[in-house]
């Protein structure tokens, strides 16, 4: 347990993540089943839905995962080594304030091996980079330029402390694994929320670089098959995805498709930020 004070504020995502669900949380909440066994979130990202649910019920049993190993390491480090992490972030904050530009690019180029240094680098870059967007190139290297923030909250100790405390629950498991692994441990009555990298609605709207491996149409087909199998087992399954033809066509008539309005702030083209519809798809 961390020596930091335990706060009673609601936990929030500790990273701004592309496709983050904070703006859609009210819509999503309406479709969360009233009762379920274990909560599964196999495309965890910034965990907007997980933290929302834990804010309402911190004793909830859950198994959450993501394929991005740097991100999963961040969750585990916040849970287990908060004090060291906060000291490292304070150090980043001090150095950044002396010379934001050169410090940012120096850290962006660095490749720390130490666990604390790795995670504090990810959180520091997430707080200070352009649009708070996690994006890596084909070599897996973070390649976002410096953002324009006058006073970024690099340490954010209050939320990290709340998140650390809540993640220490023995009922929460966090793993780095492919989404399909959910099939091995989800059982009848469990609830699975899938929020994969979205299917592009047009060729130019492609945004799938969370890891250095793209989420392809084949992956989406596989995801739909996994979902059908979960359905057969008696799991409640909810999906988020783009309002694309591919997505609508792949789900059979057994699934309910609900259109919701999205107002995405992570999109480099501000014209594309407004008025888009997204889909929620569920089997209950
Ligand atoms: C749309 S984001 C999830 C956003 C999240 N709901 C939030 O509120 O921040 C999709 C996530 O899926 C992860 N991912 C991509 N391919 C995956 C795979 N094959 N299995 C598991 N996770 C994957 C990415 O690393 C990314 O974090």
Instruction: Indicate whether 17 belongs to any domain.
Output: no
**CA of 21 relative to ligand 1 center, distance in Å:** 11
What CATH number should be reported for the domain holding residue 61? 3.40.50.150
**CA of 46 relative to ligand 1 center, distance in Å:** 9
Name the burial class of residue 176, with classes exposed (0-12), middle (13-18) and buried (19+) by CB atoms within 10 angstroms of its CB. middle
**CA of 256 relative to ligand 1 center, distance in Å:** 22
- Residue partners of 201: CB distance under 8 A and separation at least 6: 242, 243, 244, 276
The mean pLDDT value of the chain amounts to 89
The pTM is what?
Answer: 0.91
Band of pLDDT at residue 3, cut at 50, 70 and 90: very low
Say if residue 276 is in the same domain as residue 174.
Answer: yes
Say if residue 92 is in the same domain as residue 209.
Answer: no
Q: Write the CA distances from 206 to 58, 135, 235, 272, integer angstroms.
A: 36, 13, 30, 12
Task: Confirm if 235 and 184 have CB atoms less than 8 A apart.
Answer: no
**CA of 8 relative to ligand 1 center, distance in Å:** 28
Whether residue 132 has its Cβ less than 6 Å from ligand 1: no
Q: Using one digit for the tens of pLDDT, what is the confidence trace for 129-158?
A: 998 877 777 787 888 999 988 899 999 999
Whether residue 215 has its Cβ less than 6 Å from ligand 1: yes
Instruction: Indicate whether 16 belongs to any domain.
Output: no
Domain that holds residue 187: 22-76+168-282
Best mutation site among 12, 16, 18, 43 for ligand 1 pocket (most ligand atoms within 8 Å of CB): 43
Instruction: Indicate whether 103 belongs to any domain.
Output: yes
Whether residue 41 has its Cβ less than 6 Å from ligand 1: no
**CA of 44 relative to ligand 1 center, distance in Å:** 6
């Amino acid at each position: 347990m961390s020596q930091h004070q335990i706060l009673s504020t609601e936990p929030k995502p500790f990273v701004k993540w592309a496709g983050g669900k904070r703006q859609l949380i009210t819509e999503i909440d309406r479709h969360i089943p009233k009762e379920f066994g274990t909560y599964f979130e196999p495309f965890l990202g910034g965990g907007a839905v997980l933290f929302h649910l834990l804010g309402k019920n911190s004793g909830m049993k859950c198994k959450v995962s993501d394929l991005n190993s740097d991100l999963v390491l961040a969750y585990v480090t916040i849970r287990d080594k908060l004090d060291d992490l906060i000291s490292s972030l304070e150090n980043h904050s001090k150095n950044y304030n002396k010379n934001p530009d050169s410090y940012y690019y120096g850290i962006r180029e660095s490749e720390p091996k130490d666990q604390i240094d790795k995670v504090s680098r990810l959180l520091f870059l997430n707080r200070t980079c352009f649009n708070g967007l996690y994006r890596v190139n084909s070599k897996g290297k973070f390649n976002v330029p410096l953002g324009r923030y006058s006073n970024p909250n690099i340490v954010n100790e209050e939320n990290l402390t709340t998140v650390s405390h809540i993640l220490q629950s023995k009922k929460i498991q966090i793993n780095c694994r492919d989404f399909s692994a959910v099939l091995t441990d989800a059982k009848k009555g469990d609830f699975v929320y899938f929020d994969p990298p979205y299917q592009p609605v047009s060729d130019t709207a492609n945004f799938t670089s969370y890891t250095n491996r793209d989420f392809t149409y084949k992956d989406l087909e596989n995801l739909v098959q996994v979902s059908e199998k979960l359905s057969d087992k008696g799991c409640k399954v909810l999906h988020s995805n783009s309002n694309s033809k591919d997505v609508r066509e792949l789900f059979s008539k057994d699934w309910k498709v609900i259109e919701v309005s999205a107002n995405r702030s992570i999109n480099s083209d501000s014209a594309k930020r407004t008025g888009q519809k997204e889909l929620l798809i569920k089997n209950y």
